[in-house]
């Protein structure tokens, strides 16, 4: 049994202008200890996907359909209290911008200690020793003093270490990382990545690693999922995808990395699709170099090619499924 299985998940935002289908029928599974990279442009639905797994989609967003099975239980059917016990203990999350995701008026020691408060019933002030140990583990310098600090007294990288410490405190089975290094300086990014990899090795937790940086995902993930316009485009072994991308969108992304290295930048023509009024047929067809007549008329299904799943009409015939 996989650790996590997401089936046909649909998360929509009801806006005055209409319904935004941020995640529109996404399915995937995750084994224990596995790292799944999720890539896509901004607005592809990857962040909404992450928030929905931990049950924290902000209104007006709502999960309209699907199942999120974690260790055999459908999270979407749990009560708020049952979900609360899983959050922060079994499933944790590290967010993109540590500057806004830490409370500006509470001391670091309290904010980290709250994890122990929520799940072990230890008052934050009495958990200070544990917090200091934890902060040392994420290699925050001078942890004894830092527990007394407020977020604004720490640098971005230090704050992200604090966020990571909260996520690993109770040795969770799944850590969701939503662009954990995107808001940081390049030099700090490398340090934080190093820490994350170290934590993965130590904890053996499964991770969903969300990023728009495909190259980074190529280095850390076992499997890779590419999203476009709220849909899954391709999912499979990271290595295989890099060697031989099936979907034209995946191919364009991987080419972009290769060409960046040569400093000539072939950009993908066009813009990401509007999720309010997605294009008919395949959502990628207006930008697709390999589009066919049918692409604008028929919505592609998901086809199995070897161990990979791809959503493109090019593979309709080849499909094993």
Partner 1 sequence: MEAPSKMSLARYVARRVLQAVPTLLILIVFMFILVRILPGDPARLIAGLEATEEDVERIREALGLNKPLHEQFIDYMSGLLRGDLGTSIKYDRPVLEEILARFPKTLELAIAAELIAIALAIPLGVVSALKPYTKTGLLATIVSLIGSSMPIYWLGLMLIYIFSVQLRLLPSSGTGTLAHLILPAVTLATLLMGNLVRITRASVLEALESNYIVTARSKGLREEVVVYRHALRNALIPIITITGLQLGALLGGAILTETVFAWPGLGQLLLTAINSRDYPLIQGIIIFYAVILIVINLVIDIAYAYIDPRVRVSLWSSG
- By CB under 8 A, residue 122 contacts partner 1: no
How far apart, in whole angstroms, are the C-alpha atoms of residue 173 and residue 299?
36
Q: Are strands 61-70 and 231-237 parallel, antiparallel or unpaired?
A: unpaired
How far apart, in whole angstroms, are the C-alpha atoms of residue 257 and residue 250?
11
How far apart, in whole angstroms, are the C-alpha atoms of residue 104 and residue 226?
35
- At 224, list the tokens: 């890779």
Q: Which is nearer to partner 1, 180 or 300 (CB)?
A: 180
Task: By CB under 8 A, name the one of 106, 122, 256, 298 that touches partner 1.
Answer: 106
Task: By CB under 8 A, name the one of 12, 95, 249, 315 that touches partner 1.
Answer: 95
Given a contact cutoff of 8 angstroms between Cβ atoms, the answer to whether 206 and 175 are in contact is yes
- By CB under 8 A, residue 75 contacts partner 1: no
Task: By CB under 8 A, name the one of 62, 126, 145, 152 that touches partner 1.
Answer: 152
Given a contact cutoff of 8 angstroms between Cβ atoms, the answer to whether 202 and 30 are in contact is no
Task: By CB under 8 A, name the one of 31, 41, 65, 117 that touches partner 1.
Answer: 117
Which part of the chain contacts partner 1 (CB under 8 A), choosing from 12-20, 77-85, 264-272, 289-297? 77-85
- By CB under 8 A, residue 304 contacts partner 1: no
- By CB under 8 A, residue 97 contacts partner 1: yes
- By CB under 8 A, residue 42 contacts partner 1: no
Q: Which is nearer to partner 1, 97 or 237 (CB)?
A: 97
Task: By CB under 8 A, name the one of 7, 10, 32, 84 that touches partner 1.
Answer: 84
Residue 178 CB coordination number (10 Å): 22
- By CB under 8 A, residue 209 contacts partner 1: no
- By CB under 8 A, residue 56 contacts partner 1: yes
- By CB under 8 A, residue 87 contacts partner 1: yes
Task: By CB under 8 A, name the one of 6, 86, 168, 224 that touches partner 1.
Answer: 86
Which has the closest alpha carbon to 161: 105, 213, 111?
A: 111
- By CB under 8 A, residue 260 contacts partner 1: no
Q: What is the DSSP string of 201-221?
A: HHH--EEEEEES-HHHHHHH-
Q: Which is nearer to partner 1, 115 or 254 (CB)?
A: 115
Phi and psi at residue 276, in whole multiples of 5°?
A: -80, -45
Phi and psi at residue 200, in whole multiples of 5°?
A: -60, -45
Phi and psi at residue 234, in whole multiples of 5°?
A: -160, 140
Which has the closest alpha carbon to 90: 71, 72, 74?
A: 71
Task: By CB under 8 A, name the one of 32, 119, 130, 136 that touches partner 1.
Answer: 119
Binding site for partner 1 (CB under 8 A): 51, 54, 56, 58, 80, 84-89, 92-93, 95, 97, 100-106, 111, 114-115, 117-119, 148-150, 152-153, 163, 166
């Amino acid at each position: 049994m996989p650790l996590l299985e997401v089936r046909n998940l649909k998360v929509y935002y009801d806006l005055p202008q209409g319904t935004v289908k941020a995640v529109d029928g996404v399915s995937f599974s995750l084994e224990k200890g596995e790292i799944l990279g999720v890539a896509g442009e901004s607005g592809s639905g990857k962040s909404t996907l992450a928030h929905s797994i931990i049950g924290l989609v902000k209104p007006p967003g709502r999960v309209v359909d699907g199942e999120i099975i974690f260790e055999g239980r459908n999270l979407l059917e749990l009560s708020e209290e049952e979900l609360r016990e899983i959050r922060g203990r079994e499933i944790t999350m590290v967010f993109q911008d540590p500057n806004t995701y830490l409370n500006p008026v509470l001391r670091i020691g309290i904010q980290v200690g709250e994890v122990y408060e929520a799940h072990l019933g230890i008052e934050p002030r009495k958990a200070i020793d544990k917090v200091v140990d934890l902060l040392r583990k994420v290699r925050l310098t001078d942890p004894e003093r830092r527990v007394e600090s407020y977020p604004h007294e720490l640098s971005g990288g230090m704050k992200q270490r604090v966020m990571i410490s909260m996520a690993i405190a109770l040795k969770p089975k799944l850590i969701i990382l939503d662009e954990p290094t995107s808001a940081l300086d390049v030099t700090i990014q490398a340090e934080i990545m190093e820490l994350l990899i170290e934590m993965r090795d130590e904890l053996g937790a499964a991770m969903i690693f969300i990023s728009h940086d495909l190259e980074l995902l190529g280095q850390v993930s076992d499997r890779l999922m590419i999203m476009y316009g709220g849909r899954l485009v391709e999912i499979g072994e990271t290595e295989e995808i890099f060697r031989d991308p099936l979907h034209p969108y995946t191919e364009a992304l991987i080419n972009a990395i290769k060409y960046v290295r040569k400093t000539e930048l072939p950009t993908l023509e066009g813009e990401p699709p509007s999720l309010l009024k997605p294009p008919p047929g395949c959502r990628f067809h207006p930008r697709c170099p390999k589009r066919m007549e049918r692409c604008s008329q028929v919505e592609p299904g998901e086809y199995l090619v070897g161990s990979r799943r791809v959503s493109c009409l090019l593979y309709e015939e080849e499909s094993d499924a």
